[in-house]
Amino acid sequence: MAKQEITIKKPFDSHVHLRRGATLRAVTKYTAERFGRGIIMPNTEPPIDTVEQAAEYKKEILSAVSGHSNILQNVGMSVEQKFEPLMTFYLTKKLSPKDIGKGASGDVCKIYAVKSYPYGATTNSQWGYRNILEAKEVLREMENVGMPLLLHGEVHLNDNNVEEDPYDGEKIFIKEVLPRLLDEYPKLKVSLEHMSTSEAVDFIEKNGKEGRLVATVTPTHLMYDRRQAFSGGYRTLLHMKPLIKKMEDREHVREIVKKGLPFVSAGTDSAPHPESKKFSSCCAFGVFNSPVALELYTQVFDELGCLDKLEGFLSENGPRFFGLKPAEDTITLVKEDWQVTEPIVTDEGVKIWSLCDKQHGLGNEVIHWRLASSL
């Protein structure tokens, strides 16, 4: 019997961290093999908050892609046609309305969105505002020029500067911050990133609207809940922000993707960290999943019996929010079991462990779908 397979327009990653230097050179190919374009997260060190920095960062990404000749087998295709990094600004205290104008014009480097990190909540969030509502002038200008705001939607520090319970951060944000933001900026395009709770899902289901309020979903929040995160001990490779939540939350996240809503799309939040930072007394937040993300999304949609919704989620809804057309080229996935058996090693000899790794994952995670081209 012929193997089951699925061909879809080349996916769009609405949320990916590629880092810089040796890590970037090691991880970028996994994204570029699977996704035609990616919204590149700006929480590098230093953060990206000028068009000049964004232009330089984009160049670094493209040169890493061109370094992997297997991705450029198609003669006549430029690096940018194979994988196009779509650059973003970090909403630092330095970012001004003038920067927004420059980014929107695209003269030096086109900026597709601004990402907000709540101060102290996650990796490299030390340059963010405590509360997004404080960034009034920048938000007003974004609303004027139509530049989307990407939200790390968690309250980390409350109005009295006291830390909230990290399991409640998203819930509090949905209840107390997001409605006010939408109210105060009625034309702002907003994306709630990496939904992890029932509250976020319910809010988006009720209020989501193409071109106004959208949301992204990671493979990690679709696949796992706290039972796996604490299975036999705390699972380092599942440690991320927002934290992996309860069974009901995961069920809600699964239910919303099953509905095939036009304002819900894939954002992997692939976030590589060197082994030394992941396996340390203070484990870094971030799940590196680009070698398996597309495969896991497909697996979950297959389990849910909604493979017909996969292309919208992976390849159409994301670009539409950013005013872009879906990709013209396609990708094929085949139903076949495989496992991740090796870490990725940078050219500086540093190991980076992927989600589902046989040794450091849950133990024996078999992935049921794989990229046809990697067979």
Residue 77's DSSP bridge partners are: none
Assess contact for 351 and 312: CB atoms under 8 A: no
**Which tokens belong to 323?**
């005013």
Please tell me the distance from the alpha carbon of residue 254 to that of residue 145, in angstroms, as a whole number. Answer: 34
Tell which one of 240, 264, 294, 356 touches ligand NCD (CB under 6 A): 240
DSSP assignment letter at 102: H
Q: Which stretch binds ligand NCD (CB under 6 A): 31-39, 118-126, 256-264, 274-282?
A: 118-126
Q: Nearest residue by C-beta to Zn ion?
A: 269
Between strands 330-338 and 5-9, the pairing is: antiparallel
Tell which one of 154, 269, 295, 316 touches Zn ion (CB under 5 A): 269
Count of residues near Zn ion by CB under 5 A? 1
Please tell me the distance from the alpha carbon of residue 26 to that of residue 58, in angstroms, as a whole number. Answer: 16
State yes or no: residue 152 binds ligand NCD (CB under 6 A).
yes
Instruction: Clarify whether 273 is annotated catalytic.
Output: no
Pick between residue 6 and residue 287 the one whose CB is nearest to Zn ion: 287
Instruction: Clarify whether 152 is annotated catalytic.
Output: yes
- Give the shortest CB-192-to-ligand NCD separation in angstroms: 13
Identified catalytic residue from 9, 10, 13, 17? 17
- Residue identified by tokens 């005013």 is 323
Residue 265's DSSP bridge partners are: 216
Residue 150's binding partner out of ligand NCD, Zn ion, none, with CB under 5 to 8 Å set by partner kind: none
Identified catalytic residue from 10, 29, 194, 278? 194
Pick between residue 106 and residue 120 the one whose CB is nearest to ligand NCD: 120
State yes or no: residue 241 binds ligand NCD (CB under 6 A).
yes
Instruction: Clarify whether 17 is annotated catalytic.
Output: yes
Dihedral of CA atoms 115, 118, 124, 127 in degrees, nearest 10, equals 80
Q: Which stretch binds Zn ion (CB under 5 A): 72-80, 243-251, 268-276, 357-365?
A: 268-276
Beta strands in the chain (DSSP E): 5-9, 12-16, 37-40, 84-90, 111-116, 149-151, 190-192, 213-217, 264-266, 330-338, 344-345, 351-352, 367-371
- Give the shortest CB-337-to-ligand NCD separation in angstroms: 28
Please tell me the distance from the alpha carbon of residue 220 to that of residue 253, in angstroms, as a whole number. Answer: 11
* First-last CA distance in the chain: 18
Q: Which stretch binds ligand NCD (CB under 6 A): 50-58, 119-127, 196-204, 323-331?
A: 119-127
Residue 285's binding partner out of ligand NCD, Zn ion, none, with CB under 5 to 8 Å set by partner kind: ligand NCD
Please tell me the distance from the alpha carbon of residue 155 to that of residue 181, in angstroms, as a whole number. Answer: 13
State yes or no: residue 43 binds ligand NCD (CB under 6 A).
yes
- Give the shortest CB-158-to-Zn ion separation in angstroms: 22
DSSP assignment letter at 287: B
Assess contact for 61 and 80: CB atoms under 8 A: no
Residue 252's binding partner out of Zn ion, ligand NCD, none, with CB under 5 to 8 Å set by partner kind: none
State yes or no: residue 88 binds ligand NCD (CB under 6 A).
no
Q: Which stretch binds Zn ion (CB under 5 A): 89-97, 263-271, 290-298, 362-370?
A: 263-271
- Give the shortest CB-271-to-ligand NCD separation in angstroms: 3
Identified catalytic residue from 9, 29, 115, 273? 115
3-state helix, strand, coil in the chain (%, to 5): 40, 20, 45
Residue 122's binding partner out of ligand NCD, Zn ion, none, with CB under 5 to 8 Å set by partner kind: ligand NCD
CA-based nearest residue to 240, from 152, 144, 133: 152
Q: DSSP states of 188-215 as a string? A: --EEE-S--SHHHHHHHHHH-BTTTEEE
State yes or no: residue 170 binds Zn ion (CB under 5 A).
no
Please tell me the distance from the alpha carbon of residue 307 to that of residue 277, in angstroms, as a whole number. Answer: 36
State yes or no: residue 28 binds ligand NCD (CB under 6 A).
no
- Cite the active site residues: 15, 17, 115, 152, 194, 269
In the complex, the residues that contact Zn ion under the rule CB under 5 A are 269
In the complex, the residues that contact ligand NCD under the rule CB under 6 A are 17, 43, 122-124, 152, 240-241, 269, 271, 285-286
